[in-house]
Structures are given as structure tokens and as C-alpha cells.
Amino acid sequence: MNACPECAGVMKFDSAHRRYVCQSCGLAVNREEMDEMAAKNTSADPNEEKEQRKKDYLKWWSNKK
């Protein structure tokens, strides 16, 4: 299930328009746009947040050395 990059609401795929439409705020984006927005707003996706934390940790680790 996809989460809205703006409000973390439920995104439903609109096959007619080939876009994901947010059920909460009405945001309509295609797959590419959603990935771009999700990359900017990592808190919307718990998995993204985990990845970011891993990166932060690696950065901290390399700075320490």
C-alpha cells in the first residue's frame, strides 16, 4: 500500500489516468512523481525513514573514523 507523500493518506491507483490519487487530500501523482516526493519527505514512509537512519548512521560512523 502506498502512502501519500503530502499527508501520509491512502493512495489509490487510478487506472484511467494512470495516477495515484490520495484519498485524504486529493493529491494526484504518477509513480515517478510519488517516488520523487517520497525521497524528499522521508517521514511519510517508515521504510524510507529506516533507510535514512541507516545512512545517517553510516555517515556518523565514517566521520568518527
Chain residues binding Zn ion by CB under 5 A are 4, 6-7, 9, 22, 24-25, 27
CB of 37 to Zn ion, least distance (A): 10
| Least gap, CB of 55 to Zn ion (angstroms) | 26
Q: Is 26 helix (H, G, I), strand (E, B) or coil?
A: coil
DSSP state of 44: G
C-alpha cell at 1: 500500500
Q: CA torsion sign, 3 to 8 to 12 to 14?
A: negative
Q: Which is nearer to Zn ion, 24 or 43 (CB)?
A: 24
In the bound state with Zn ion, the residue whose beta carbon lies nearer, of 37 and 52, is 37
